[in-house]
Structure 1
Amino acid sequence: MDVFSRGYEKFGFVRSAEGITYREWAPGADSAALVGDFNNWDPNADHMSKNDLGIWEIFLPNNADGSPPIPHGSRVKVRMGTPSGTKDSIPAWIKYSVQTPGDIPYNGIYYDPPEEEKYVFKHPQPKRPKSLRIYETHVGMSSPEPKINTYANFRDEVLPRIKRLGYNAVQIMAIQEHSYYGSFGYHVTNFFAPSSRFGSPEDLKSLIDRAHELGLVVLMDVVHSHASNNTLDGLNGFDGTDTHYFHGGSRGHHWMWDSRVFNYGNKEVIRFLLSNARWWLEEYKFDGFRFDGATSMMYTHHGLQVTFTGSYHEYFGFATDVDAVVYLMLVNDLIHGFYPEAVTIGEDVSGMPTFALPVQVGGVGFDYRLHMAVADKWIELLKGNDEAWEMGNIVHTLTNRRWLEKCVTYAESHDQALVGDKTIAFWLMDKICMISWL
């Protein structure tokens, strides 16, 4: 598991003392060549070779003066001949991508700054709090001014406020690069790249380090439940086939979210996603994750247009995506095995049994289940008259949870509070949270 979950040390761009190796899994492609600013986008300059496992590879030696063959910050893509024609794609394992003003698709960037420009973490990661009080936020929307905020602004202006308000954790949305801003970052195009619209990777590291200095745990809103259906800057149709990384046909297309559904039974997809989780923990020192859309992952019907009553046949039947459930067990086992202080929260509205119990006792392995029913209940209550509030119904909603599980109760707002394991009294006192939602 240790080697398997470090795919970023094998795939994508890997720098060595001798040069740069680039590898990509694209079994459906007939040909592949690395193109970019470094070779004037010449598709005949740097052809790649393919092995029996469908992995393409090329090694570029250092220049005569010892400098890397691809300069830091230069644009790169892989040009592939596929069954559906020739296409240029951003490398699947790209660590940074940017949108050139006026261009719709993003450009992959070879990101390997010199040592003196790399951010060095100065502060230790905090221990996991016994009781989480989480402040959920979106960096770009964290300012009252009509502008896109930056990692630096958030670090200097918002983090101190979060600390003053008494929170001990901050959960950040929209970290993974995404083309469509309107979906709050949930249609990911480049899974290993932090969103460039807020600043550089070094800026994000500085933000996280500052949070750690303040004693704040930093959780990432990670999206492994689906992917953008973009073909120019995303994974969709990467090697020219409908089944690369995803299920083919209707099963591989999320009808509600207009996105692609991963094939969690494919070894290389599992390697990609496990390595992705580890990358953010290793490289950026995140302290854990909130896994978005776990319900959508665990069922072929995605939990949509289905009423869960608690009967076990609703959870264990032909509609259950067993491969996806096993993946969630694997990623939780990976995270807790290598990073014992890390926190994992799963967003599940179905009530899947054992969802927030350890893998060692047969559970899916999350530390907390995100208790979405509380948010839905508050919306329902606040839309009606106060006289219609039923205390028994409210208490039932707050206490209706699986035995022995820890839950995070949720008040969705894009720059206000998400609170953990609190009572109705706390909710009634936290008026800011209620007003923000309205």
Structure 2
Amino acid sequence: MAKRTTKNQSTSPEATPETQVTVQTSAQPENWSYSRLTDFDIYLFRAGKHTRLYEKLGSHVVEVNGVVGTYFAVWAPAARYVSVIGNFNGWNKGNHPLKVRWDSSGIWEGFVPHIGRGEIYKYAITHESGRELEKGDPFALWWETPPQTASIVWDTWYEWKDDYWMRNRGKFNALNKPMSVYEVHLNSWRRDPSNPERQLSYGEIADALVPYVKEMGFTHIEFMPVMEHPYDPSWGYQITGYFAPTSRFGTPQDFMKLIERLHEENIGVYLDWVPSHFPGDAHGLYEFDGSHVYEHPDVRKGYHPDWKSYIFNYGRNEVRAFLLSNALFWLDRFHADGLRVDAVASMLYLDYSRNHGEWEPNVFGGRENLEVISLFQELNEAVYKEFPDAQTIAEESTAFPGVTRPTYTGGLGFGMKWMMGWMNDTLRYFQRDPYYRRWHQDELTFSAVYAFSENFMLPFSHDEVVYGKKSLVSKMPGDEWQRFANLRLLYTYMFTHPGTKLLFMGSEFGQTSEWKFEGSLDWHLLEHAPHQGMQDCMKALNKLYRSEPALYELSFVQEGFEWIDTLDRENGILIYARKGTRIKEQVIIILNVTPVPQTDYRVGVPLEGTWVEVFNSDDKAFYGSGLLNEKPLESEPKTWHGRAASVQVTIPPLGAVVLKYQNT
């Protein structure tokens, strides 16, 4: 086998001299006996209850009998031979065989002296049938940059400097706090301006991204999958290295530094997590030891027809332990503040994207995947036990009951769930010509019927701006001014509707083209007034959302929301109130979904006194027409909308007005 290129170990400032030794060694002496695994570890692993497998399996630089080397441990239950191969032994599979444990766990382990941090390696595996494979390490902490496919001996040692955030995270990451999430794809948020083909490093991304997110006022970032993946067009959702941030942008410690810098600005970090499927690449999890180790052997449960990928065997205890450990790994070693769990619906239903005869009912004759239900319950119990200030968020698009309800009541135990119904209804409504909206008001009002059945996050994600769906601003009807006015109105509705918020990058300044994963956002658009105005509007909305407790304190209970009027379809006016824990800290939101302005429009108010305009989407600073309510509005004892008091308001075209009670 041809010698492969190794990483230069001396380039890492964290590497220590003793772990950089790469002396050519002979076969492993038989007297090397070392294991990180206890009998209790094996018991938990086989029971599917181990949540810290990354401390035990994979590669770990250790010292044994005064000799520094690397301990390897890999689960390959159908193998008859396993060895470690790399530059250190000329990729010769006979030099460093591993020993299978005596306890029938299927784990192979061994110690290779005099190799350490930075060494590239794979496992040479021979199946019981004689089939030979070369596989990367499922627990590798770092990988070669694709298209190279070897694992790298590494560690997650890092001197974190985010103590303030970690101690106080509960104050920022709780369900009764504002949560405005900026969804980011690292490869395409921004490229090197002088060379658009060059990807930025984690450090360069941090230099630009951290101050930008702080300036915009978002409370959290959600990174689309950062785990190692071989194929850029998968956007990171086809993972081969579940325990490693991609090497495209730097080392694991470089990614930790990016998270740390966000935390230093009190910005939380959510990571996309993909337990739903994995690709069939030769170096990955598929047929890992020549048998169906990680994927379900039944094609009806083990193959995803939409994504042409493979589905984990959720009923196999060792696989459950792998997934549980992986989820906790990112919260533990990388200080992630939460996980957004991808494609939950595809996991919950046995018949997802399958025709009649292509799926098998559960033991009760239903379509629910009972093994997945119990896995999610165990996952959320483990996360909230070990990291009570973290959040788990389900991308779940069906009416499956109790996704965000406690497991002790039969729920799945997630912290939040994406409100896909709201997203679909809202976009469908706003794409209509304003003249026809009067006959479709229920598409906006219907969400209030079920808004409090779950803890909902309102998402306008990457999925809405690809594959011919157009960007958000391009979905809006009318001329340029109307499209931007509609989008400002849409965002105001979003940020004043019950639930937390998520917005995909570029949407905050009105990106006009669809998202392109292989190139940068169109930052040059900010040279034009409509886009600069949109960006300023988003800054103002984030500021409004974070400063008004009525918009976040009671986001998940009916008491935080009240319709004032939904009946004026002719004028296209919708009015509702948002309430906090203090009765006088409430706001009224008035939406005008037509291009016809309204003056002296009477609105019933829940409290007598003075109301002031705290936000208007038609502000000239936002590229609006400037039709504002600049003076305080004194209520009159005139019954309107079923309230004893009312005020007269100017409502701009395709605009939104937010009034706040002046608590004197």
What TM-score does the superposition give when structure 2 sets the normalisation length? 0.58
- C-alpha separation between the residues in 2 aligned to 1:112 and 1:406? 37
Amino acid across the alignment from 1:267: N
Q: Counterpart of 1:78 in structure 2: which amino acid?
A: Y
Corresponding residue SS for 1:244:
coil
Paired with 1:276 and 1:425, the residues of 2 have a C-alpha distance of 33
Q: Does 1:15 align with 2:61?
A: yes
What is the Cα deviation at residue 378 of structure 1? Answer: 3.9
Inter-partner Cα distance in structure 1 for 2:151 and 2:380: 30
1:395 Cα deviation from its structure 2 partner: 1.9
Q: CA separation in 2, counterparts of 1:109 and 1:433? A: 38
- Structure 1 position 344, deviation (Å): 0.7
Residue 210 (structure 2) pairs with residue 159 (structure 1): yes
Give the superposition deviation at 1:374: 2.9
Distance 2:378 2:220 in 1: 25
Query: Does the 8 Å contact 1:374/1:398 carry over to 2?
Result: no
Following superposition, the deviation at residue 396 of structure 1 comes to 0.9
Q: Greater CA radius of gyration, 1 or 2? A: 2
Report the more deviating stretch, 388-397 or 1-10: 1-10
In structure 2, C-alpha distance between the alignment counterparts of 1:425 and 1:283, rounded to whole Å: 34
How do residues 22-421 of structure 1 correspond to structure 2 at under 5 angstroms?
22-51=72-101, 52-60=104-112, 62=113, 69-82=114-127, 83=129, 85-99=131-145, 104-112=147-155, 119-124=158-163, 125=166, 126-127=169-170, 128-129=173-174, 130-143=177-190, 145=193, 146-147=196-197, 148-232=199-283, 234-241=284-291, 243-250=292-299, 251-302=301-352, 318-389=366-437, 390-397=440-447, 399-401=449-451, 403=453, 405-413=454-462
Contact 2:458–2:494 under 8 Å retained in 1: no
Of the structure 1 ranges 9-18 and 296-305, higher mean CA displacement relative to structure 2 is found in: 296-305
Equivalent position of 2:29 in the other structure: none
Report the Cα offset of residue 373 of structure 1: 2.2
Partner SS state of residue 197, structure 1:
coil
Q: 1:427 to 1:84 in 2, by over 3 A?
A: farther
Match of 2:52? 6
AA partner of residue 117 (structure 2): H
Distance 2:371 2:420 in 1: 24
| Cα distance in 2 between the residues matched to 1:56 and 1:159 | 43
Q: Relative CO higher for 1 or 2, CA cutoff 8 Å, sep ≥ 6? A: 1
Separation of aligned partners in 1, 2:288 and 2:130: 11
Per-residue CA deviations over 1:251-303 (Å, capped at 9, x if unaligned) read 21100011110011111101111111111111111111100111111111236
Name the aligned partner's letter for residue 495 of structure 2. Answer: F
Deviation at 1:427, TM superposition (A): 7.5
- Spell out, residue by residue over 1:189-246, the C-alpha distance to the aligned partner (whole angstroms, 9 max, x if none): 11001011121111100000001100011111111111112122x10111111x2111
Is the 8 Å Cα contact of residues 84 and 240 (structure 1) preserved in structure 2?
no
**What SS class does the counterpart of residue 16 from structure 1 fall into?**
strand
Following superposition, the deviation at residue 382 of structure 1 comes to 4.6
1:26 CA displacement: 0.8
Number of matched residues? 409
Measure how far apart 1:384 and its partner are: 3.7
Letter in 2 for 1:337: K
> Given the superposition, is the C-alpha separation of residues 120 and 37 from structure 1 closer, same or farther in structure 2, using an over 3 Å criterion?
same
Task: Give the conservation status (yes or no) of the 8 Å contact 1:351–1:402.
Answer: no
CA distance in 1 between partners of 2:272 and 2:117 (Å): 28
- Shift, 1:353, TM fit: 0.6
State whether residues 174 and 195 of structure 1, in contact with CA within 8 Å, keep that contact through their aligned partners in structure 2: no
- Identical aligned residues as a percent: 28
1:84-104 CA-to-partner distances (Å, cap 9, x unmatched) read 62111101111111136xxx4
**Code of the aligned partner of 1:74:** E
SS in structure 2 at match of 1:335: helix
Q: Distance in 2 between matches of 1:85 and 1:76?
A: 20
CA contact (8 A) 2:142 2:244 kept: yes
3-state DSSP class of the match of 2:296?
A: coil
1:335/1:112 CA distance change after superposition, 3 Å = closer
What amino acid maps onto 2:397 in structure 1?
Answer: V
Q: What is the Cα deviation at residue 112 of structure 1?
A: 3.9
Q: What amino acid maps onto 1:11 in structure 2?
A: L
Using a 3 Å threshold, how does the CA distance of structure 1 residues 328 and 271 change in structure 2: closer, same or farther? same
Q: In 2 relative to 1, CA 174–254 (structure 1 residues): closer, same or farther, beyond 3 Å?
A: same
Kindly provide the CA deviation profile for residues 57-101 of structure 1, in whole angstroms up to 9, marking residues without a partner as x: 1123x4xxxxxx22321210000112362111101111111136x
One-letter amino acid of the structure 1 residue matched with residue 332 of structure 2: E
Separation of aligned partners in 2, 1:111 and 1:79: 19
SS of 1:33's equivalent in the other structure is strand
Runs of 5+ unmatched residues, structure 2: 1-43, 466-470, 473-490, 498-502, 515-664
TM-score (norm 1): 0.86
CA distance in 2, matches of 1:34, 1:173: 32
Q: Using the alignment, how far apart are the partners of 2:354 and 2:452 within structure 1? A: 21
Distance 1:48 1:393 in 2: 61
Q: Is the 8 A contact 1:346 1:368 kept in 2?
A: yes
